[in-house]
């Protein structure tokens, strides 16, 4: 999961840096903002996944 986030962050920042190098420097802060939003989404997802748990019991049925 961390690899997917890292790949998306690197691509986003590389594009932002590319635009900054050709003179569109204002793109870079928004690329950083996008990476921050992506990080927040990943953290929220990981917190939710950690709380979901399913237990399957095999054996005698208790009533």
pLDDT at 54: 75
Structure tokens at 24: 């569109």
pLDDT at 63: 63
Structure tokens at 59: 């054996």
Q: Three-state SS for 28? A: helix
Asked if the structure places residue 39 within a domain, the reply is: yes
Asked if the structure places residue 59 within a domain, the reply is: no
Asked if the structure places residue 60 within a domain, the reply is: no
pLDDT at 59: 80
C-beta of residue 34 within 8 angstroms of C-beta of residue 12:
yes
Domain count, the chain: 1
Tens-digit pLDDT string for the chain (63 aa): 788 889 999 999 999 999 999 999 999 999 999 999 999 999 998 888 777 777 777 887 776
Give the residue numbers spanning the domain of 43: 2-51
Asked if the structure places residue 47 within a domain, the reply is: yes
């Amino acid at each position: 999961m961390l690899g997917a986030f890292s790949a998306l962050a690197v691509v986003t920042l590389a594009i932002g840096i590319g635009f900054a190098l050709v003179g569109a420097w204002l793109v870079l802060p928004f690329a950083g903002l996008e990476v921050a939003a992506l990080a927040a989404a990943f953290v929220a997802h990981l917190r939710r996944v950690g709380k979901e748990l399913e237990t399957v019991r095999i054996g005698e049925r208790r009533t």
